[in-house]
Chains A and B, each alone.
Chain A
Amino acid sequence: MIEIDRITKVYGDTTVVDAVSMTVDTGTITAIVGTSGSGKTTLLRMINRLVEPSSGEVRINGEPTRDTAPHLLRRRIGYAIQGHGLFPHHTVARNIAAVPRLLGWPRYRIAARVDELLGLFGLDPAEFRDRYPQDLSGGQQQRVGVARALASRPDLLLMDEPFGALDPIIRARAQQDLRAIQQKLGSTIMIVTHDMDEAMSLGDRVGVMDGGRLVQYAPPQEIVARPATPFVAEMVGEAERPLRFLSLIPLRDLVEPGEAEGAPLSDAASLRDALSACLRSGRDAVPVTRDGAPMGRVTLAALRREAARCP
């Protein structure tokens, strides 16, 4: 568990981060979203002490971060940034091995870990181990960057706009991969983004920063349903709120017994997917399946009722 306790950063007369407190549960993804200048990156960088807080403290599993020397603290916290920041003079394997080497892991254990991570990120170890970062595509470099951040099984992974440099298609893939890997490894992740869609789709909880303050910190459903301030509402996008609301609810929550025509959807798909399917094919209901077996249906009327619940 990560506890951030009234952490503040003041530069001269400007308060960049203003008494932010939040708790991040182990094994969850927290997305910090805000416009540029909202203090979100400074907040993240204070957690691994790349920026020293002016006041307040951060505790990781109850232990204040200021009790550890900054470089030792950072070896326990993964760090992935936009544009990956890989070492151009080291091979992919050596890049991923950076923190385990610092921690003095035995060689065989490092090699095994490198191959394990490459496999996890869909990069064939035999093919990629000895390549140099500039020989990889942007998406591959980014995956190696995240693999490096996860190499020593850190208590916490901090990500600063990790997908910012990727094109939309690769980006969506990278988000899915991150979700899958996080669930597999049970990692605790804090990710900073300016993209509300990214925050909503990745975050178990979303923190919205505005002018150095954390104005709302809640699960995505609640951010959409009850934006705490006009700024949060604006970030969510007022006109799109019902759609966002539907996109956060899986079909399994609304499935009812009955039959329906046409191509079925999985029970993990969102209500927004079902609405889209209805509109596209002119149907009033779509069949829902779980693991390929019929489960029931979701009707347009039910979708409309559900969307109306969004205040």
Chain B
Amino acid sequence: MPVSYGTLLRAGLALLLLALVLWPQGFAPVFAPFAPEGGPVIYTRASLLSLSLGHLGLVAVATLASTVVAVLLAILVTRPAGAAFRPLSRTLTNVGQTFPPVAVLALAVPVLGFGTGPTLVALFLYGLLPIFENAMTALSTLPPRTMEAARGIGLNRWQQLWQVELPLAAPVMLAGIRLSAVIGLGTATIGSTVAARTLGEVIIAGLLTSNTAFVLQGGLIVGLFAVLIYDALVQLERRLTPGRPRPA
């Protein structure tokens, strides 16, 4: 099979990311011009690997929670019995999105204390809207004849949901999850201001000490994670798009 340009680029970026996380000293010559005179070039106060894992874990848990809540909510409001709750749930998820994550952090710290908790809450709230809106749109714009046939041949409500509605809505829902995950990856960096263990630590350390090398280092790693995860989810969506034979 010929290797496509996309596959090469993907592999290259993944290798670069691995190198940045596992062997940061190797990049000292690259970042040196951005570091202050005589200051440190490479962030060494914590292992970049553990910060990366913390960052990804936080985003994964928050996105998963947003997905579960938003998809359940979307399913609920697209049933005949739940239609009345549609405006209310839209308002709620919209508020979650408009509320700046920094404000959520500030409000959550007194309740949940410093650390991972407030960041998780902020990411969760921030991630609800894209998933909810996409899931709701997908579930309410399914092909009417297919749904008529699903009822007509004798699927009960659960079977209609599991066997027809969710599979057909999956690609659009996944696009919402992708958006949330990528926004979450960026937003999680501010979690460091309340002592969550994320890659934001590197960036904020750089900002506090006017060390552009740290800022670049942290930003580059977060950016590469975002690009690669976005790409992986796009691939997954393509596979889930109905009618395309799954590659063996």
Complex CA distance for A56 and B152, rounded to whole angstroms: 21
Q: B152 contacts which chain A residues (CB < 8 A)?
A: 48, 50, 74, 79, 81, 85
Q: Are A134 and B145 in contact (CB under 8 A)?
A: no
| A interface, size bucket | 20 to 34
User: Scoring B residues 103 to 117 as 1 if CB is less than 8 Å from chain A, else 0, what string do you get?
Assistant: 000000000000000
Of A86-94, A110-118, A184-192, A274-282, the stretch lying at the interface with chain B is A86-94
Q: How far is the CA of A149 from the CA of B143 in the complex (A)?
A: 19
> Could you mark each residue 130-174 of chain A with 1 if its beta carbon is under 8 Å from any beta carbon of chain B, else 0?
101111000000000100110000000000000000000000000
> What's the Cα separation between A83 and B149 when bound, in Å?
10
| A81 partner residues in chain B, CB cutoff 8 A | 145, 148-149, 152
Which of A79, A82, A130, A134 is B153 in contact with, Cβ under 8 Å? A79
Chain B 108-163 residues near chain A, CB threshold 8 A:
143, 145-146, 148-156, 159
Q: Say yes or no: A84 contacts B150, CB within 8 Å.
A: no
B149 touches A74 (CB 8 A): no
Of B146, B149, B159, B242, most buried by chain A (CB within 10 Å of CB) is B149
Pick the contact of B164: A83, A87, A102 (CB < 8 A).
A87
By beta carbon, the residue of chain A nearest B152 is A79
Task: Chain A residues near B151: list those with CB within 8 A.
Answer: 50, 74
Bound together, the chains give a CA A133 to CA B145 distance in angstroms of: 13
* Number of residues from B at the complex interface, CB < 8 A: 20
Check if A98 is an interface residue, CB within 8 A of chain B. Answer: yes
Contact, CB under 8 Å: B153 / A149: yes
Q: What's the minimum C-beta distance from B223 to chain A, rounded to whole angstroms?
A: 35
Q: Check if A71 is an interface residue, CB within 8 A of chain B.
A: yes
Cβ B243 vs Cβ A85 within 8 A? no
Q: Contact: A75 with B168, CB < 8 Å?
A: no
**Chain B nearest CB: distance from A138 CB in Å?**
13
- Give min CB distance, B226 to chain A, whole Å: 30
Q: Does B100 contact A (CB under 8 A)?
A: no
Q: In the complex, how many angstroms separate the beta carbon of B30 from the nearest chain A beta carbon?
A: 47
Q: B149 contacts which chain A residues (CB < 8 A)? A: 79, 81, 84-87, 145
Q: Is B82 an interface residue (CB 8 A)?
A: no
Asked if residues B153 and A88 are in contact (CB atoms below 8 Å), the reply is no
Docked-complex contact A102 and B155, CB < 8 angstroms: yes
Contact between A148 and B153, CB atoms less than 8 A apart: yes
- Neighbouring A residues of B143 by C-beta, 8 Å: 85, 88
Q: Which residue of A lies closest to B164 (CB)?
A: A87
Min distance, Cβ B215 to any Cβ of chain A, angstroms: 46
Contact status B243-A74, CB under 8 Å: no
> How many whole Å from A256's CB to the nearest CB in chain B?
50
- Chain B residues with CB under 8 Å of A84's CB are 145, 149
* Least Cβ–Cβ distance between B150 and chain A, in angstroms: 7
A86 to B242, CA, bound (A): 12
Asked if A74 and B242 sit within 8 Å, CB to CB, the answer is: no
Contact residues in A for B167 (Cβ distance below 8 Å):
89
Q: Is the CB of A73 within 8 A of B243?
A: no
Q: Which residue of A lies closest to B243 (CB)?
A: A132
Bound-state CA distance A73–B159 (Å) is: 15
Q: Which of B145, B154, B164 has the most CB of A within 10 A?
A: B154
- A29 within 8 A of partner (CB): no
Taking A81-B149, A85-B149 as contacts, is the C-beta distance between A74 and B245 under 8 angstroms?
no
The docked-state distance in angstroms from the alpha carbon of A142 to that of B20 is 56
Q: B168 and A99: CB pair below 8 A?
A: no
A87-B164, A134-B243, A135-B243 known; A75+B153 contact, CB < 8 A: yes
Is A180's CB within 8 Å of the partner chain B?
Answer: no
Closest to B241 in A: A89
The verdict on A22 contacting chain B, using a C-beta distance below 8 Å, is no
Known: A71-B156, A132-B245. Is A83-B168 also a contact (CB below 8 A)? Answer: no
Known contacts A81-B145, A85-B152, A149-B153; 13 additional CB pairs below 8 A are: A48-B152, A72-B154, A75-B153, A79-B149, A81-B148, A85-B145, A86-B149, A87-B149, A87-B150, A98-B153, A99-B153, A132-B243, A132-B245
Which residues of B come within 8 Å of A, CB atoms?
143, 145-146, 148-156, 159, 164, 167-168, 242-245
Chain A residues at the B interface, C-beta cutoff of 8 Å: 48, 50, 71-76, 78-79, 81-89, 98-99, 102, 130, 132-135, 145, 148-149
18 CB contacts below 8 A, A to B, read: A71-B154, A71-B155, A78-B153, A85-B145, A85-B150, A86-B146, A87-B146, A87-B150, A88-B146, A88-B168, A88-B243, A89-B242, A89-B243, A99-B153, A102-B155, A133-B243, A134-B243, A148-B153
Q: Which 7 A-B pairs have the closest CB atoms?
A: A85-B149, A89-B242, A74-B154, A75-B154, A79-B152, A85-B145, A132-B243
